Amino acid sequence: MVKFCSLFSGSSGNCLFFGTEQTKILIDAGLSRKAIFNALEQIDQKPDQLKGILLTHEHNDHVRGAGILSRTLDIPIYATEGTWKGCMPVLGEIDEKNMVCIEADKPFEIDDLCIQPYRTPHDANDPVGYCLLAEDKKTVVATDIGKMTRALLKWFEKSDLLFLESNHDIEMLKIGSYPQKLKNRILGDKGHLCNEVAAKTVAYMVKTGVTRVVLGHLSEKNNFKELAYITAVNEMKKEGILPGRDATVEVADRY
């Protein structure tokens, strides 16, 4: 059975676990080794079973612990060329055999996992999201997305599980304490996805057959779990979808 678990999700650190019986990986490793090992223990997973780390982009909240994990466990890191360039100073020295350069739109395999990286609109060098195909199930990881596009919706189609960013409530962000420059960045086309757009995306994807959505990468200051959840549920109801019957929506904990 395929297992997906959000260990950490949000601006203070991101790390997702994905695995089949045979192959276990992390997507991003934006926390300390200790924090990640503890979180793995809580879901009964052993760090030495991990086969690799996929990075979405070079921002600190996604890569902070990747270097030390690669060195400790002697496992490869998979990242685009731009991401490698951006995160080398943070990662420290990585064994050459553990540096794998991937490209958007070029699928690759790790044992029984087929992984399809796709481009995301975000203010990083060469950011990607991932479609993970294993045991006839499709899991899509989609965070750090400035705007929703047709191309992205296409990648989400027919997923069995969609992990989607629902970063902020626009009004909370606007009246909040962030400096204007940061607000503009988050609201921009290469920033983060707001609850409202995430909710519309969820309703649309459920109509096309997606039955399980997990909302993630919530902002600490400009969102809260209940708000992200209720925004999605209201949008689904508007479209005649009954949450719980037609699809399940959950919100990932930040910790």
Could you tell me where the beta strands, DSSP code E, fall in the chain? 3-8, 15-19, 24-27, 50-54, 77-80, 99-102, 108-110, 113-119, 128-134, 137-142, 161-165, 212-216, 248-251
- 138 is an interface residue for Zn ion by CB under 5 A: no
Tokens of 214: 């997990």
Tokens of 11: 């601006």
* Comparison of 67 and 216: residue with beta carbon closer to Zn ion: 216
- 169 is an interface residue for Zn ion by CB under 5 A: no
By CB under 5 A, how many residues form the interface with Zn ion? 3
Q: How far is the CB of 60 from Zn ion (least distance, A)?
A: 9
Tokens of 134: 């294993």
* Comparison of 52 and 121: residue with beta carbon closer to Zn ion: 121
- 24 is an interface residue for Zn ion by CB under 5 A: no
Tokens of 118: 């796709």
Shortest CA distance to 121 belongs to which of 88, 106, 101, 143? 143
**Which of the residues 37 through 66 are near Zn ion (CB under 5 A)?**
59, 61
Q: How far is the CB of 14 from Zn ion (least distance, A)?
A: 6
The closest residue (CB) to Zn ion is 59
- Can you tell me which of 28, 58, 126, 144 binds Zn ion, judged by CB under 5 A? 144
**Which of the residues 209 through 238 are near Zn ion (CB under 5 A)?**
none
Tokens of 182: 């940061």
Binding site for Zn ion (CB under 5 A): 59, 61, 144
